[in-house]
Amino acid sequence: MKIFIPYEKCIFCNSNKLIIQKNIKFTSNFYVKAITDDLNLKKKKLEKIRTYKCEKCHVLQNSPWFTRQISNKIYNNIYGQHNRSWDNLIKFVSKKEFPKHGRLFEMLIKNIKIKKYAEFGSPFMGLFLNFYSSENDFKKKINQKLFSNTLEYLKSRQVAGKNANSRKSSMLKAKKALKIIKRIRKKLKGRKLITKKYLFNDNSGLSWGQNDNFESVNSRSLASELLNVKLFEMETKKFKSYFDLFGIFHSLDHTFYPKKVLNFALQSSNLVIVYCHTNKELSKQHLFSFTNDFLKFLKKQKIYTIDLTNKIKKNFHSPEMYFLCSKKKREINKLNLIYNLSNNI
């Protein structure tokens, strides 16, 4: 089976002006080890992957890299669970800790009226948990009970291969769990949701999908039941609804169509918040990564940006970037003025 193919054009802008990056050291990590072990690859084979930089949009890209078939195997078989995303949810449920985005959520909700919010990719990487918490002021034990029963409800629906008695037992568990869920939810009866939440996916072979499971429950299914998130496949045409904010958290580099995803977000929302890696030494498990200079390219495309990386008071452990962007210059100018002048965020 063919493992590598050349990626001779930029994955983002389709330019063929890719300049090789010298003195890039080979580094292994948890993901690279899992991939090499499962595919039975030797270090020499991986060292053939070289890193290039696009002269036009400044994206870093590996080539040759894994075929789409192998990439799909990596994200669905070899490493099908997005454990960082699930860890975010588990820490929220057990300790009421949020995904580590500094003071980003507070900055956004203070200065943007968000009635409709969307994200692309994994459901527990961005701000869904922040919105959920602000809408449901449960104590930690109640929150844990809601989570465990939602998980039990979804698990109990899995009855393939079970005999009649086991199926009956599963259905009784589902019924009991649903009863508890409804009792907890009843406390919020008559209370309107502050923000409608949507999750989009393109089922790219470069991201975690239907196999992103915890205790046999898929992340999207759990987000839908627990966080009241509406699920949609990303379409090329403009979405019927219009969003106040669209979040892309460590997922723009997990699709074979990053430009299409960003354009969809910009066409569907007033503002888009992007969180991404900017590591100059692109690791072998990634096809591509962004750089700080990517914002210069967006400016040339008349996509206006605010770099929030140094404004959100986050302790960074790796090179990363947060930026707001919009096709509406007035929106960005207004927020830029607020974020540059206000110290009380």
Taking the whole predicted model, whether its pTM rises above 0.85 is answered as yes
- Integer angstrom CA distances of residue 203 from 5, 15, 106, 258: 21, 24, 31, 13
Tokens 């990363």, residue?
320
15: its two tokens: 């330019």
- Integer angstrom CA distances of residue 129 from 115, 120, 132, 204, 241: 16, 15, 5, 24, 22
Question: What pLDDT was estimated at residue 50?
Answer: 94
86: its two tokens: 């699930």
What residues form DSSP beta bridges with 304?
Answer: 326
63: its two tokens: 């080539």
Q: Which amino acid is at 89?
A: L
Question: What pLDDT was estimated at residue 345?
Answer: 41
As averages over each run of 10 residues, the pLDDT of the chain (345 residues) reads 93 97 80 86 88 97 96 86 91 91 96 95 95 77 81 75 70 76 68 82 86 89 91 70 93 95 94 94 92 96 96 92 96 91 52
What residues form DSSP beta bridges with 20?
Answer: 52
CA atoms within 13 A on the CB side of 293: 10
CA–CA dist 194, 305 (Å, integer): 27
- Nearest alpha-carbon partner for 117 in 223, 215, 43: 223
DSSP character at residue 186? G
Phi first, then psi, for residue 62 (nearest 5°) are -90, 140
**What would the DSSP string read from start to end of 216-276?**
TEEHHHHHHHHS-EEEEE--SSPPSS-BSEEEEES-TTSSS-HHHHHHHHHHHBS-EEEEE
CA–CA dist 166, 158 (Å, integer): 11
CA–CA dist 180, 211 (Å, integer): 27
What residues form DSSP beta bridges with 305?
Answer: 325
77-83 contacts at long range (C-beta below 8 A, 24 or more positions apart): 77/38, 77/211, 78/34, 78/35, 78/38, 78/39, 79/31, 79/34, 79/35, 80/208, 80/211, 80/212, 80/213, 81/208, 81/211, 81/212, 81/213, 81/214, 82/122, 82/125, 82/208, 82/212, 82/219
Strands 245-249 and 272-277: parallel
Buried b (16+ CB within 10 A) or exposed e, 215-253: eebbbbbbbbbbbbbeeeebeeeebeeebbbbbbbbbbb
What residues form DSSP beta bridges with 61?
Answer: 52, 288
Q: How many whole angstroms from its chain centre is CA 185?
A: 27
CA–CA dist 71, 204 (Å, integer): 9
202: its two tokens: 């393109």
